[in-house]
Amino acid sequence: MQPIETIYGGCRFRSRLEARWAVFFDKLGIQWQYEPEGYKLSSGQSYLPDFWLPPLDCWFEVKGPEPTELDRKKAHDLSVDSKKLVVLASGQIKTNTTDFKNYEWEWPSDGFRMELFAGRAWDIWVTKAFTHAMWNWTLETDLPPFISEQFPNREIPLIDNENRRQILVELDEAYYFNKYGKRHPRYEWGRYEDQVNWVIGKNGEIGFALEPNDRKTIISDAYSAAKKARFEHGESG
């Protein structure tokens, strides 16, 4: 069976799930472009991303079920080729809330997931909508002493740059493969996070983070609007 096309905001979407994301973006005041351009990736694959979000300088791809390995590879390759953030959202938009310290926190649940791709594992180009703080800490601070201990005869550059990070990643992968006989899962999809959430930063900026959102913010309102949106006979309701 094929999803029924849905018209919203002057666009004909391939599914209601895509239209719900357009409702979500509108609720947050995020300008969006639907399928603005198709691309031939360096891998040879053709790719037509779902959404381009200019204020966030990122691509947003919508998948109904769990993404396939090919879906993830295309998202990764698009990020590498364009040097832009790519978010891959899968599942229906569902969230759960948790009470903690007089706050209600909201997080994707029940099969709803957003994966984030930001180029190769050693890339350091800056993304507007995500900080990569944990990733940077791993490659700047945590990993170097471990690699130096495991590979005492290898000279590791002192200055943090892409060359240094590539050396660290390749040596870490070699160590992991020699020990476990398989590729290190940390680097399978490059600079990658397997679950992010929409949040509002301290200065009011909208983006992604590895944390729940405060239900008192407009993020929660946007989730609610997207989930409740009704589209009758293919038209916006």
Cα–Cα distance, 9 to 31 (Å, whole number)? 12
pLDDT band at 162 (very low <50, low <70, confident <90, very high): very high
Q: Is residue 47 predicted with pLDDT exceeding 50?
A: yes
Q: At what angle do helices 143-150 and 162-180 cross, to 10 degrees?
A: 60
Residues 6 or more apart whose CB falls under 8 angstroms from that of 182 comprise 176
pLDDT band at 158 (very low <50, low <70, confident <90, very high): very high
- Reported as half-sphere exposure (CB side, CA atoms, 13 A), residue 185 has a value of 3
Lowest-pLDDT range, 30-34, 62-66, 82-86? Answer: 62-66
What's the pLDDT score for residue 110? Answer: 86
Q: Where are the alpha helices (DSSP H) in the chain?
A: 16-28, 69-82, 133-137, 143-150, 162-180, 218-228
pLDDT band at 104 (very low <50, low <70, confident <90, very high): confident
What's the pLDDT score for residue 64? Answer: 85
Average pLDDT (184-190) is: 96
Q: Is residue 204 predicted with pLDDT exceeding 50?
A: yes
What's the pLDDT score for residue 157? Answer: 93
Token pair in block for residue 166? 């590539």
The residue type of 211 is E
Q: Is residue 203 predicted with pLDDT exceeding 90?
A: no
What's the pLDDT score for residue 233? Answer: 55
What's the pLDDT score for residue 236? Answer: 47
Token pair in block for residue 61? 């791809």
What's the pLDDT score for residue 65? Answer: 86
Cα–Cα distance, 117 to 207 (Å, whole number)? 14
What's the pLDDT score for residue 237? Answer: 42
What's the pLDDT score for residue 101? Answer: 72
Q: What are the Cα distances from residue 133, in Å, to 22, 70, 79, 137, 223? A: 29, 27, 18, 6, 25
Average pLDDT (179-194) is: 96
DSSP 8-class letter at 125: P
Cα–Cα distance, 203 to 173 (Å, whole number)? 38
What's the pLDDT score for residue 100? Answer: 74
Cα–Cα distance, 128 to 57 (Å, whole number)? 6
Residue 72, Cα to own-chain centre: how many angstroms? 10
Cα–Cα distance, 88 to 71 (Å, whole number)? 9
Q: Is residue 143 predicted with pLDDT exceeding 60?
A: yes
What's the pLDDT score for residue 215? Answer: 79
Cα–Cα distance, 86 to 66 (Å, whole number)? 16
Average pLDDT (48-77) is: 96
Q: Is residue 63 predicted with pLDDT exceeding 50?
A: yes
What's the pLDDT score for residue 1? Answer: 66
Token pair in block for residue 172? 């870490």
- Beta 58-63 vs 85-90: how paired, if at all? parallel
Q: Is residue 102 predicted with pLDDT exceeding 80?
A: no
Cα–Cα distance, 21 to 185 (Å, whole number)? 30
Q: What percent of the chain has pLDDT over 70?
A: 96
